[in-house]
Amino acid sequence: MTVEPPGVRTRDAEREETDAQVIERSRDEPELFAVLFDRYADAVHRYAARRLGPEAAEDLMAETFTTAFQRRHTYDLSRGDARPWLFGITTNLVSRHRRSEARRFKALARVPEPVEHEEPVADLAVARAGATGVRRELAAALSGLSARHRDVVLLVAWADLDYEEAAQALGVPVGTVRSRLHRARSRLREALGGCDPTGPADPGRPADPADPADRAAHARSRRSGRSRRSDSFREADTP
């Protein structure tokens, strides 16, 4: 008779459960919400870092999951994937820092060469475009987009959401996402001489050790213990 190590069944079950099932269970067992954190914290952190910089990303990521935890009782359980919900929360939080984001992109547009300790604005976009000089130009082009156009193009390009998921994240019809994305990409292509570097990133992209956003996420992940996260969700629970 084979005896499984303690916790094996629990870990396997967590991997098999949909996000919606995890959220539903966390309503009665708050500490289970840590499973959602483990699944998506790094992705949310990378997205926030690319939009507002690594200094602000940690707080934005933490606030995203705190807000999600507090709103878990209102989550639509018919939606198995919680990524659109989480990235929608993050994007709403970014909206409080519109001026900071615009200043960041404008500042990066003036940097002639990558700064060693600066978060790359568009490493994925650069790779997809195959042009080493697009980073500065892309930053300038993004700074020229309206907030609603920038939100939709970056949810697709940097959060890896499809049109329907982006619509869920923003709380708008899919047709609105298509229209905004078309306009945003047209403006980006015009600013970049016909190049469109904002296609969806590869969902299976591994962490890049050369990317400060990935390094920061990895370091944060190692610093944050699972039990500490579970305790924080349990303590934050309110009747």
For every one of its 239 residues, what pLDDT tens digit does the chain have, with 9 covering 90 and above? 445 555 444 555 555 899 999 999 999 999 999 999 999 999 999 999 888 888 888 989 999 999 999 999 999 999 999 999 999 999 999 887 766 665 666 666 666 554 444 444 434 443 343 333 336 777 778 888 888 998 999 999 989 999 999 999 999 999 999 999 999 998 888 877 766 656 544 433 434 443 444 444 445 444 444 444 555 665 556 55
Predicted pLDDT at 1: 47
Predicted pLDDT at 108: 60
Predicted pLDDT at 190: 85
Q: How far apart are CA 38 and CA 33, in angstroms?
A: 9
Biggest alpha carbon–alpha carbon distance for the chain: 67
Which residues are within 8 A (CB) of 93 and not within 5 positions of it... i.e. 6 or more apart?
60, 63, 64, 67
Q: How far apart are CA 93 and CA 68, in angstroms?
A: 12
Enter the pTM of the model: 0.69
Q: Chain centroid to CA 175: how far?
A: 22
Q: How far apart are CA 136 and CA 109, in angstroms?
A: 4
Predicted pLDDT at 189: 86
Decide: 95 and 147 in contact? Cβ < 8 Å. yes
DSSP labels, 84-140: HHHHHHHHHHHGGGHHHHHHHHHHHHT-SS--TTSPPS-HHHHHHHT-TTHHHHHHH
Predicted pLDDT at 156: 93
Predicted pLDDT at 210: 39
Decide: 153 and 184 in contact? Cβ < 8 Å. yes
**Torsional sign, CA 86, 36, 100, 158:** negative
Decide: 199 and 126 in contact? Cβ < 8 Å. no
Q: How far apart are CA 119 and CA 50, in angstroms?
A: 7
What are 202's two structure tokens?
């590869």
What are 235's two structure tokens?
């303590």
Q: How far apart are CA 239 and CA 221, in angstroms?
A: 29
Residue type, position 49, single letter: A
